[in-house]
Structure 1
Amino acid sequence: MTGRTPPLVGAGLWQAVMAAAAGRCQCRGTCGTSHAKDGGRCPREHDGYRQHHGGGRVHLLAAPAEPAALLLPPHHVAALPKQALAAWCERCHDATRTATCKAQQATAPAAEPDVLF
């Protein structure tokens, strides 16, 4: 992993999560990609080069490890301990969050329509 540039806020927590992840995205397929070529884990590393979608640098973020917790409000996520966090690349984070949201909506009971009579 090349130089770790921490975020402005929560740098200590972010660095602890990145150290535990060895600077690599910890997605194991919850994003919808099997990551089979890379042993079942996303190959993206922090500050590594993004080969697709315009290139640029990969910036990992510390977010809840459990997909369902990705839907928590930000103030709940901020209170999570480092053991409940994982390193995510933007692509895997967004895809996992979207898939979790769709699954939650599909299993939610249908709201009864408001009726006047």
Structure 2
Amino acid sequence: MTAFEIHQPVVHTRPLVDTGWRWTAVMESAGFRCQCAGGLCGSRHSNSGMRCKAEHDDGNGRIRLIAAPVDLGLSDVAAAAVPVAQLRAWCPGCFQKARARAREAYANARRIESGPADTLF
């Protein structure tokens, strides 16, 4: 070994946390492809059949899909308790954008439900 040798860490293809079987079940049902479709993240994915084209371990190890609830407006605690049947495969980009949109929609709904603010006059 020389002073200029670089050692890369081993690439993990499974999540670091989880029993693994939940993640595997979600990925197998999704075909190891992101399930974002129809504008959930703001993109209609019109160039890929209306579904995100990101695939897990896309050949260069750069895309790591995650399993997250269909309802992205849930709190983190509620999301951890979601059964496997209600999980979906997400690429990180679609997940973050769709989650922000879902939480914004939840906040708007709560604001509307609370009614107008009390005023002094």
Taking structure 2 as the reference length, what is the TM-score of the superposition? 0.74
Asked if 1:5 corresponds to 2:9, the answer is no
Residue type of the alignment partner of 2:13: T
**Mean CA deviation greater in 99-108 or 83-92:** 99-108
Distance across 2 between alignment mates of 1:64 and 1:100: 12
Residue type of the alignment partner of 2:31: A
- Could you tell me whether the CA contact under 8 Å between 2:73 and 2:106 is conserved in 1? no
Between the aligned residues of both structures, percent identity stands at 39
Q: Where in structure 2 are the equivalents of 1:86-97 lying within 5 Å?
A: 86-97=88-99
Structure 1's 58 and 114: CA in aligned 2 closer, same or farther, altered over 3 A?
A: farther
Taking structure 1 as the reference length, what is the TM-score of the superposition? 0.77
Specify every segment of 5 or more residues in structure 1 that has no aligned partner in the other structure, as ranges: 51-55
Asked if 1:82 corresponds to 2:89, the answer is no
Larger Rg: 2
Count of residues paired in the alignment: 105
Q: Secondary structure at the match of 1:86?
A: strand
Give 1:48 shift.
Answer: 1.6
Distance across 2 between alignment mates of 1:9 and 1:88: 16
Distance across 2 between alignment mates of 1:77 and 1:103: 17
Residue type of the alignment partner of 2:36: C
Structure 1's 6 and 113: CA in aligned 2 closer, same or farther, altered over 3 A?
A: farther
Give 1:103 shift.
Answer: 2.1
Deviations 1:15-46 (A, max 9, x none): 11000000000000211101111100000001
Asked if 1:63 corresponds to 2:63, the answer is no
- Could you tell me whether the CA contact under 8 Å between 1:62 and 1:85 is conserved in 2? yes
Q: Secondary structure at the match of 1:70?
A: coil
Q: 1:39 aligns with which of 10, 25, 49?
A: 49
Give 1:60 shift.
Answer: 0.6
Q: CA RMSD in A?
A: 2.4
Deviating above 4 A after TM superposition, structure 1's stretches of 4 or more consecutive aligned residues are none
Residue number in structure 1 paired with 2:35: 26
Residue type of the alignment partner of 1:73: S
- Could you tell me whether the CA contact under 8 Å between 1:35 and 1:42 is conserved in 2? yes
Q: 2:101 aligns with which of 96, 99, 109?
A: 99
